[in-house]
Amino acid sequence: MTPESMDLIFAALAHATRRRIMDLVKEMPGCSVADVCKYFDTSRIAVMKHLRVLEEAQLIVPRKRGRVRELYLNVVPLQLIHDRWTTEYSTFWATQATDLKFRLESLGQDDSPTTDAATAQRRSASGNDRPGRKRP
Amino acid sequence: MTPESMDLIFAALAHATRRRIMDLVKEMPGCSVADVCKYFDTSRIAVMKHLRVLEEAQLIVPRKRGRVRELYLNVVPLQLIHDRWTTEYSTFWATQATDLKFRLESLGQDDSPTTDAATAQRRSASGNDRPGRKRP
DNA sequence: GTCATAGGTAACCGATACGTTACTTATCGG
DNA sequence: CCGATAAGTAACGTATCGGTTACCTATGAC
Asked if the Cβ of residue A45 lies within 7 A of any atom of strand C, the reply is yes
Task: Report d(CA B37, CA B32) in Å as an integer.
Answer: 9
Does any CB of chain A come closer than 8 Å to the CB of residue B104?
yes
pLDDT at B117: 56
CATH code: domain of residue A40: 1.10.10.10
Task: Report d(CA A79, CA A11) in Å as an integer.
Answer: 16
CA A14, distance to chain mean position in Å, is 7
Residue contact B72–A118, C-beta within 8 A: yes
Residue A27 lies in a domain: yes
Q: Single out the residue of A64, A45, A62, A53 nearest to residue A19, CA to CA.
A: A53
Residue A106 lies in a domain: yes
The answer to which of A42-46, A57-61, B20-24, B105-109 has the lowest mean pLDDT is B105-109
Mean residue pLDDT of chain A comes to: 78
Same-domain check for residues A94 and A71: no
Q: Single out the residue of B77, B105, B17 nearest to residue A3, CA to CA.
A: B17
Same-domain check for residues A37 and A65: yes
Same-domain check for residues A71 and A18: yes
Residue contact A16–B7, C-beta within 8 A: yes
Domain encompassing residue A98: 90-124
Cβ neighbours for A23, distance < 8 A, ≥ 6 positions apart: B88
Split at pLDDT 50, 70, 90, the class of A124 is very low
Alpha-carbon distance values, B42 to A132, B15, B36, B46 (Å): 19, 14, 11, 6
Residue contact A130–B35, C-beta within 8 A: yes
Sites in chain B below the pLDDT cut of 70: 94-136
Same-domain check for residues B73 and B7: yes
Same-domain check for residues A56 and A120: no
Residue B132 lies in a domain: no
Residue B73 lies in a domain: yes
- Phi, psi angle pair for A71, to nearest 5°: -110, 140
Residue A84 lies in a domain: no
Same-domain check for residues A42 and A98: no
Neighbours of A102 (CB within 10 A): 18
Residues facing residue A73 across a β-bridge? A60
Residues of A in contact with B64 (CB under 8 A): 109
pLDDT at A89: 82
**What mean pLDDT do residues A59-83 have?**
94
Task: Report d(CA A78, CA A23) in Å as an integer.
Answer: 13
Higher-pLDDT residue of B126 and A26 is A26
Residue A136 lies in a domain: no
Rg (chain A; Cα; Å):
21
The total number of residues shown for chain B amounts to 136
Amino acid at residue number B97: A
Residues of B in contact with A92 (CB under 8 A): 26, 73, 75
CA A71, distance to chain mean position in Å, is 20
Same-domain check for residues A106 and A64: no
Does any CB of chain A come closer than 8 Å to the CB of residue B17?
no
Residue B133 lies in a domain: no
Q: Which of residues 41-80 of A touch B (CB under 8 A)?
A: 58, 61-64, 70, 72-76, 78-79
Residue B115 lies in a domain: yes
Q: Are B116 and B107 in contact (CB under 8 A)?
A: yes
Q: CA of A27 vs C1' of D14, distance in Å? A: 41
Residue contact A121–B13, C-beta within 8 A: no
pLDDT at B103: 42
pLDDT at A106: 40
Residue A31 pLDDT > 80, yes or no?
yes
Same-domain check for residues A13 and A39: yes
Same-domain check for residues A56 and A95: no
Same-domain check for residues A7 and A47: yes
Cβ-in-10-Å burial (0-12, 13-18, 19+) of A72 comes to: buried
Task: Report d(CA B74, CA B2) in Å as an integer.
Answer: 18
Neighbours of B123 (CB within 10 A): 12
Same-domain check for residues B73 and B93: no
What is the number of domains present in chain A?
2
Same-domain check for residues B34 and B59: yes
Amino acid at residue number B57: A
Interface predicted TM-score (ipTM) of this complex, two decimals = 0.82
